[in-house]
Structure 1
Amino acid sequence: MIAMRMLIDGEFIESSSKETIGIKNPATGEFIDSVPLGNSDDVGRAVDAAEKAFDDWSAMVPRERGKILFKAAQIVRERARGLAEILTSEQGKPYKEARDEVLGFANVLEYYNGISASLQGGFVPLASDRYCMVLKQPVGVCGAIIPWNVPAILMGWKVGPALVTGNTMVLKPSSTSPLTDLSLASILTEAGLPKGVLNVVTGHGQAVGEPLVTNSKVRKISFTGSTETGMRIKELTSGSLKRITLELGGSDPMIVCDDVDIDTAVEGAVRGRFYNCGQTCTAVKRLFVFESIAEEYIRKLSSRISGLKVGNGMNKDVDIGPLNNYDQREKMISQMKRVRENNEGIVVTGGKIPEGPQYDNGFFYTPTLVRDVIKDSVLLKEEVFGPILPVVVVKDLDEAIELANDTRYGLGASVWTRDIKKATYATARLQSGIVWINQHTKAPADVPFGGIKDSGLGRENGLDSLYEYQEIKTVMVNV
Structure 2
Amino acid sequence: MKMQINGKAAEACGGEYFDVKNPATGEIIDQVPKGTEDDIALAVEAAESAFKGWASTSPQQRGIVFYRAAEIVRRKKEELAALLTKEQGKPLAEARGELEGFAHVLEYYCGLAGSLRGDFVPVPGNGYAFTVKNPLGVCAAITPWNMPALIMGWKIAPALISGNTFVLKPASNTPLINLTLASIFYEAGLPAGVLNVVTGSGETAGESLVRNPDVRKISFTGETGTGKRVAEIAASGMKRVTLELGGSDPMIVCDDANLESAVSGAIRGRFYNCGQTCTAVKRLYVFESVAEEFIKKLESGVKNLKVGNGLDKNTDMGPLNNRHQLNFIKELIAEIEEKEEGKIITGGKVPEFEGSDKGYFFEPTLVSDVPAESRLLKEEVFGPLLPIVTVKNLDEAIEAANRSNYGLGASIWTKDLDRIRTGCEQLNAGIIWVNQHLKVAPEVPFGGVKESGFGRENGPDILSEYMETRTIMLKT
TM-score (norm 2): 0.99
Return the alpha-carbon distance in structure 2 between the equivalents of residues 375 and 185 of structure 1: 45
Q: 1:72 aligns with which of 59, 66, 69?
A: 69
Pairwise CA distance, 1:358: 2.2
Letter in 2 for 1:211: S
Partner of 2:289, secondary structure, is: coil
Return the alpha-carbon distance in structure 2 between the equivalents of residues 99 and 40 of structure 1: 34
Instruction: Verify the 8 A CA contact 1:427 1:435 in the aligned structure 2.
Output: yes
| Map 1:138-149 → 2, pairs under 5 A | 138-149=135-146
Pairwise CA distance, 1:139: 1.1
Instruction: Verify the 8 A CA contact 2:256 2:415 in the aligned structure 1.
Output: yes
Instruction: Verify the 8 A CA contact 1:102 1:152 in the aligned structure 2.
Output: yes
Q: 1:287 aligns with which of 284, 287, 295?
A: 284
Matched, 1:111 2:108: yes
Partner of 2:123, secondary structure, is: strand
Instruction: Verify the 8 A CA contact 2:7 2:183 in the aligned structure 1.
Output: no
Partner of 1:195, secondary structure, is: coil
Matched, 1:453 2:474: no
Pairwise CA distance, 1:128: 7.6
Instruction: Verify the 8 A CA contact 1:339 1:378 in the aligned structure 2.
Output: no
Please identify, of 231-240 and 185-194, the stretch whose mean Cα deviation from structure 2 is larger.
231-240
Return the alpha-carbon distance in structure 2 between the equivalents of residues 45 and 67 of structure 1: 27
Instruction: Verify the 8 A CA contact 1:434 1:450 in the aligned structure 2.
Output: yes
Q: 1:176 aligns with which of 173, 176, 192?
A: 173
Instruction: Verify the 8 A CA contact 1:23 1:32 in the aligned structure 2.
Output: yes
Pairwise CA distance, 1:335: 1.2
Give the structure 2 partner of residue 231 of structure 1: 228
Give the structure 2 partner of residue 406 of structure 1: 403
Give the structure 2 partner of residue 99 of structure 1: 96
Give the structure 1 partner of residue 58 of structure 2: 61
Pairwise CA distance, 1:129: 6.7
Letter in 1 for 2:457: E
Instruction: Verify the 8 A CA contact 1:19 1:37 in the aligned structure 2.
Output: yes
Return the alpha-carbon distance in structure 1 between the equivalents of residues 337 and 113 of structure 2: 54
Q: 1:311 aligns with which of 292, 308, 312?
A: 308
**Structure 1 moving runs of 4+ over 6 Å:** none
Matched, 1:221 2:243: no
Give the structure 1 partner of residue 183 of structure 2: 186
Return the alpha-carbon distance in structure 2 between the equivalents of residues 340 and 408 of structure 1: 25
Matched, 1:301 2:302: no
Give the structure 1 partner of residue 6 of structure 2: 9
Please identify, of 121-130 and 140-149, the stretch whose mean Cα deviation from structure 2 is larger.
121-130
| Map 1:129-144 → 2, pairs under 5 A | 130-144=127-141
Deviations 1:73-120 (A, max 9, x none): 011010000000000000000000000101110000000000101111
Partner of 2:220, secondary structure, is: strand
Partner of 2:284, secondary structure, is: strand
Letter in 2 for 1:263: E
Q: 2:341 aligns with which of 322, 330, 344?
A: 344
Pairwise CA distance, 1:10: 1.5
TM-score (norm 1): 0.98
Instruction: Verify the 8 A CA contact 1:101 1:153 in the aligned structure 2.
Output: yes
Return the alpha-carbon distance in structure 2 between the equivalents of residues 269 and 146 of structure 1: 26
Pairwise CA distance, 1:237: 1.8
Letter in 1 for 2:107: E
Return the alpha-carbon distance in structure 2 between the equivalents of residues 188 and 451 of structure 1: 30
Matched, 1:353 2:355: no
Instruction: Verify the 8 A CA contact 1:338 1:378 in the aligned structure 2.
Output: no
Give the structure 2 partner of residue 150 of structure 1: 147
Instruction: Verify the 8 A CA contact 2:165 2:193 in the aligned structure 1.
Output: yes
Deviations 1:416-435 (A, max 9, x none): 00111101111100000000
Matched, 1:212 2:209: yes
Partner of 1:238, secondary structure, is: helix
Please identify, of 184-193 and 336-345, the stretch whose mean Cα deviation from structure 2 is larger.
336-345
Instruction: Verify the 8 A CA contact 1:288 1:392 in the aligned structure 2.
Output: yes
Q: 2:381 aligns with which of 376, 381, 384?
A: 384
Return the alpha-carbon distance in structure 2 between the equivalents of residues 185 and 314 of structure 1: 24
Letter in 2 for 1:255: I
Return the alpha-carbon distance in structure 2 between the equivalents of residues 111 and 283 of structure 1: 24
Return the alpha-carbon distance in structure 2 between the equivalents of residues 117 and 382 of structure 1: 43
Return the alpha-carbon distance in structure 2 between the equivalents of residues 429 and 380 of structure 1: 19
Instruction: Verify the 8 A CA contact 2:141 2:167 in the aligned structure 1.
Output: yes
Letter in 1 for 2:226: T
Q: 2:41 aligns with which of 41, 44, 47?
A: 44
Deviations 1:408-463 (A, max 9, x none): 00000000001111011111000000000000011111000000000011000001
Return the alpha-carbon distance in structure 2 between the equivalents of residues 128 and 407 of structure 1: 53
Deviations 1:307-356 (A, max 9, x none): 11100001111100000000010110111111111111110000111123
Letter in 2 for 1:269: A
Give the structure 2 partner of residue 159 of structure 1: 156
Letter in 2 for 1:142: C
Superposition RMSD in Å: 0.9
Deviations 1:382-421 (A, max 9, x none): 1100000000000000000000000000000000001111
Return the alpha-carbon distance in structure 2 between the equivalents of residues 241 and 189 of structure 1: 31
Instruction: Verify the 8 A CA contact 1:311 1:358 in the aligned structure 2.
Output: no
Deviations 1:55-85 (A, max 9, x none): 1111111111111111100110100000000
Give the structure 2 partner of residue 429 of structure 1: 426
Matched, 1:393 2:411: no
Matched, 1:196 2:193: yes
Letter in 2 for 1:388: L
Unaligned runs of 5+ in 2: none
| Map 1:23-34 → 2, pairs under 5 A | 23-34=20-31
Partner of 2:177, secondary structure, is: helix
Q: 1:475 aligns with which of 464, 472, 476?
A: 472
Matched, 1:362 2:359: yes
Give the structure 1 partner of residue 317 of structure 2: 320
Return the alpha-carbon distance in structure 2 between the equivalents of residues 233 and 19 of structure 1: 25
Deviations 1:215-240 (A, max 9, x none): 11101000000001101111212322
